[in-house]
Amino acid sequence: MNRNISVAILLVVIGFTLIGKMEFSLKEKPRLMKTIVEMDKIRDLVLFHKKLCGQYPEKIFSYGLLEEAVGNRKCSISTEFANEEFRDRWGNSYIYIADNTGFRILSLGHEWIETTARSSATIVTKPM
């Protein structure tokens, strides 16, 4: 009888653990999806900047400033009004790295999301 109770308790604990993880991921899914969509938009703007100016932007201060520079066909991104922060939906700063060969944008939110010159936004494995 004690063994049956132990097994039942163990199954209940495992069940609550799984439900807790599902609830967390359901809560995070809207942020994840919005970040992926936003990163794909940023990727498109960076690629258009490269086509327009012959190089990737050196730095991205905000989505709005990048969008404005590309929309106005300017190769330099103004920093005069850089009060908007370049952050993902979890409040973490995006990491943007670029050189002549390509670029990488990384979100360090609940899941790590990456986009590059060659691929749209995808979830990547966190390094250990």
Residue 65 has pLDDT above 80, yes or no: yes
pLDDT band at 16 (very low <50, low <70, confident <90, very high): very low
Tens of pLDDT, residue by residue over 75-111, are 877 665 555 578 888 888 888 889 888 999 988 877 7
Quote the CA–CA distance of 48 and 46 in Å, as a whole number: 5
For residues 4 and 88, the model is more confident at 88
Q: Write down the domain spans for the chain.
A: 29-124
Please report, for residues 2, 6, 43, 50, 102, the alpha-carbon distance to residue 12 in angstroms, rounded to integers and kept in the order given. Answer: 15, 10, 45, 55, 50
Quote the CA–CA distance of 2 and 54 in Å, as a whole number: 73
Sign of the four-CA dihedral 117, 92, 67, 52: negative
